[in-house]
Amino acid sequence: MYPGSNGRAMSGDALERDLLDREPNDRIRVLDPDGTVVAPELEPALEAETLRSMYRDMRFSRRFDERMISLQRQGRLGTYSSLAGQEGSQIGSTYALADDDVLSYQYREHGAVVARGLPWEYLLYWMGHEDGNAALAEIDVFPLNISIAAHLPHIVGWSWAAKLNGDDRVGVAHFGDGSTSEGDFHEALNVAGVFDTPTVFVCNNNQWAISVPRERQTASATIAQKATAYGFAGVQVDGMDPLATYVVTKAAREKALESDGERLRPTLIEAVQYRYGAHTTADDPDVYRDEEEVEAWREKDPIDRFEAYLRNEGVLDDDRIEAIEDEIEETLATLVDRAENVAGDPGEMFEYAYAEPTPRLEDQRDYLADLRDRHGDGALLEDE
């Protein structure tokens, strides 16, 4: 049972149908932007400890973002993609999963990884070490995917295998609005429908694909409705409302595992949200969008909204927030410290693209090795 705060409880099955059998443009929201509960019948009955943990993970992700951008600006990190504004979708949906469900993401959903228990090695990837990706396997997260939508056929394949093996696990993929224009997106959804795989597709529609706005991405009224063509449910959710993304993902997960033989297992969730920052640290959004647009979306901020709700519920107060802030700063400092203490070998950059290096790559590898021999690594660093 999911008891609503006003007593209008719904059984799990009724709630799941209520959430997933909607029209794709019927956007699901539990909290409005000032934190008021607008759909008490959908409000999940989560323990205070879980709610605080979700809040901490959202705050951590926002702070992590600031720190990563600052490290990049200081030359201590490579190109980085900011998640600010997208915490509600990434963290709310991940809290609805079991620990051994498999998660696959694009490159912006660090918050989903935080909710899984971000390993300190995560920073290594962004500093150019392959070990950063490898550490994700321990928390059942696939390596991140720069090549957009290329991970979607893989998560469908994994989900199909889980079903054939009789595992009670789902495959969950995060991707952007831009990814929905790729062939891989359509192929993955088609196979998911035909083979009825236990897959949850979370499209983080943040209104932009670098400089391409949502209205130039597709002529469909919603992204959610694309699921109709593949025979399964597509729902739109307020992606800046962590409780809405939580309940919708939970319902999608249940449907994926407990097929009623009538409706297909996969679900496409379109989480409507906004990217506050630049596409990456290599981008300048001022050349293609107005600051007023950003400000309007900031009014719907997922963290402010959730904090207002939790204060109102008596789950959070100033003292608890201060303790959470202190803990976040401490954890971040430790993460950065550990990652910066790993000595990297620049020669490794040639190792992972091909099983056998191409002649051109061999030339480049030898050229770098020769430079290092003749001048020493210090000579290659700007501040030496």
209 or 268: CB nearest Mg ion: 209
CB of 197 to ligand TPP, least distance (A): 22
- With contacts defined by CB under 5 A, name the span among 107-115, 173-181, 328-336, 356-364 that binds Mg ion: 173-181
Decide: is 206 part of the binding site for ligand TPP (CB under 6 A).
yes
Return the structure tokens found at 352.
């992972």
Residue pointed to by tokens 């990837």: 125
CB of 7 to ligand TPP, least distance (A): 40
- With contacts defined by CB under 6 A, name the span among 22-30, 145-153, 303-311, 315-323 that binds ligand TPP: 145-153
> How far apart (Å, rounded) are the C-alpha atoms in residues 267 and 270?
10
297 or 350: CB nearest Mg ion: 297
When binding is defined by CB under 5 A, the residue of 44, 85, 176, 266 that contacts Mg ion is 176
Which one from 56, 116, 275, 305 is the annotated catalytic residue? 275
> What does 210 bind: ligand TPP, Mg ion, none (CB cut-off 5 to 8 Å by kind)?
ligand TPP
Helix%, strand%, coil% for the chain, nearest 5: 50, 10, 40
> How far apart (Å, rounded) are the C-alpha atoms in residues 205 and 209?
9
DSSP letters spanning 308-334: HHHHHTTS--HHHHHHHHHHHHHHHHH
b/e per residue 171-193 (b: at least 16 CB within 10 A): bbbbbbbbbbebebbbebbebbb
Judge whether 276 counts as a catalytic residue: no
Decide: is 206 part of the binding site for Mg ion (CB under 5 A).
yes
CB contact at 8 A, 237 and 245 = yes
Tell me the β-bridge partners of 208: 213
Q: Which residues contact 73 (CB under 8 A, 6 or more apart)?
A: 281
- With contacts defined by CB under 5 A, name the span among 148-156, 182-190, 200-208, 373-381 that binds Mg ion: 200-208
206 or 222: CB nearest ligand TPP: 206
Judge whether 110 counts as a catalytic residue: no
Binding site for ligand TPP (CB under 6 A): 106, 108, 146-148, 175-179, 206, 208-210, 275, 279
Binding site for Mg ion (CB under 5 A): 176-177, 206, 209
